Structure 1
Amino acid sequence: MKVFRYLAATLVMVWALGFLWFTVALPQPAGDEKTDAVIVATGGAGRIDQGLAVLDQGLAPRMLVTGVDPEVRPEEFAAQFEVPQDQMDCCITLGFTAVDTRGNATEAAAWVEQEQVASVRLVTTDWHMRRASAEVARALPENVRIVRDAVPSAPSLTSLFLEYHKLIASFIAGLFGY
């Protein structure tokens, strides 16, 4: 019984320290490193704006927005984010198949292969970055370099708690090849 209590106490301590690390050391925005493309996972404020800023600054020549609602038309997207039509035509792909983070990774991997991209800048919210980048890294070929570009946010404790557990579940699923 003592061994069980020791093991349980150790697991609780590891969980608590992991959660503390997760909440205190959120990923940060990337610097001025150039990549072949930017991938934006929808779902949080500032993500698409950051992706467009990357394009405008010349840090990447093209962008995939993954997880776009199938009802959104490209012209609606362009109007909402004030994207010129020539930029939509040349540089922005809207992905409509993903409904979750794993789907974002699958959609991104197919696009990266089609576009023959060797490096990507992944844009998502700071609290979502660890899990999103792990899922994308699992889906992409090993030779594709990923630059993590986190959008700063002010997440609630509830959001952090849920995302931490999703990260743990994702890690465990990755260990078993899921």
Structure 2
Amino acid sequence: MLRRALGLGAAVGAAAALATGLGLLLFAIRVAEPGPPAPPGPGIAVLTGGPERVERGLALLAERPDARLLISGVGHAVVPADLGATGARITLGHTATSTRGNAREVAAWARDTGLRQITIVTAGFHMPRALLELRRALPDAAFQPHPVPPYLPRPTPLLREYGKLVGAALGLSALVDRPRGVEAPAALRPAPQAAQDGSAGPPNPEPSP
């Protein structure tokens, strides 16, 4: 009886390991290629937490004269000029401290502005989890991914991100979501229209796990 139970446990463990390995492989293949560029849309949302994201969002905004930009997940002390961001079309979101928080912040901004076509700028390996949370928070919107490097990180960060993706799919991200305590609409501050010198590179905003 004991031998049968041990054999069954080993078989279950092997199946779980195989499923995890296969899922991780498929995830790595999915994020390794950036895919085609996102079609132009009226909304752009940058999820902070890594290099090139804010710069790419600002570049997309410059290419789309009628678009609006949200930079989600910046610290309370960050002002638009710190990011090289100026103009009434730019909004900073200060409440998000996680990907789930980013999604909540983007959803509040989209409802406030009436936008339902939004280009999402974040790291390539982070994009699947970001889209999962965004579609959960705002199911009636169309999100176009615009990933930036890194697309495929080193093994340890890749495995960590895959675990977070599985956790988010199971709804566990709600257990670790800790907003900064400012209600979303009040936290969305439009950038001032006064021109600022944005030639210097923007500082690294607070990361969103």
What residue in structure 2 maps to residue 70 of structure 1? 76
Name the Cα RMSD after superposition.
2.1
Give 4+ residue runs of structure 1 displaced > 4 Å after superposition: none
Closer, same or farther in 2 for the Cα pair 1:60/1:130, shift >3 Å?
Answer: farther
What residue in structure 1 maps to residue 21 of structure 2? 16
Distance 2:65 2:37 in 1: 10
Distance 1:32 1:156 in 2: 26
Report the CA distance between 1:8 and its aligned residue.
1.7
User: Which segment drifts farther, 57-66 or 96-105?
Assistant: 57-66
Residues 61 and 91, structure 1, Cα contact 8 Å, conserved in 2: yes
What residue in structure 2 maps to residue 113 of structure 1? 111
Distance 1:77 1:152 in 2: 19
Residues 38 and 144, structure 2, Cα contact 8 Å, conserved in 1: no
Q: When the two structures are aligned, how many residues end up with a matched partner?
A: 167
Sequence identity, in percent? 32
Higher relative contact order, structure no. (Cα contacts within 8 Å, ≥ 6 residues apart): 2
Partner SS, residue 89 of structure 1: coil
Which amino acid in 2 is paired with 1:147? Q
What residue in structure 2 maps to residue 48 of structure 1? 54
Q: TM-score, normalised by structure 1?
A: 0.86
Please state which structure has a larger fraction of its residues in helix: 1
Closer, same or farther in 2 for the Cα pair 1:121/1:106, shift >3 Å?
Answer: same
Structure with the greater alpha carbon radius of gyration? 2
Partner SS, residue 93 of structure 1: strand
Distance 2:144 2:50 in 1: 19
What residue in structure 1 maps to residue 143 of structure 2? 146
Closer, same or farther in 2 for the Cα pair 1:30/1:62, shift >3 Å?
Answer: farther
Closer, same or farther in 2 for the Cα pair 1:74/1:59, shift >3 Å?
Answer: closer
Say whether residues 1:94 and 2:92 are aligned partners. yes
Partner SS, residue 92 of structure 2: strand
Structure 1: gaps of 5 or more residues: none
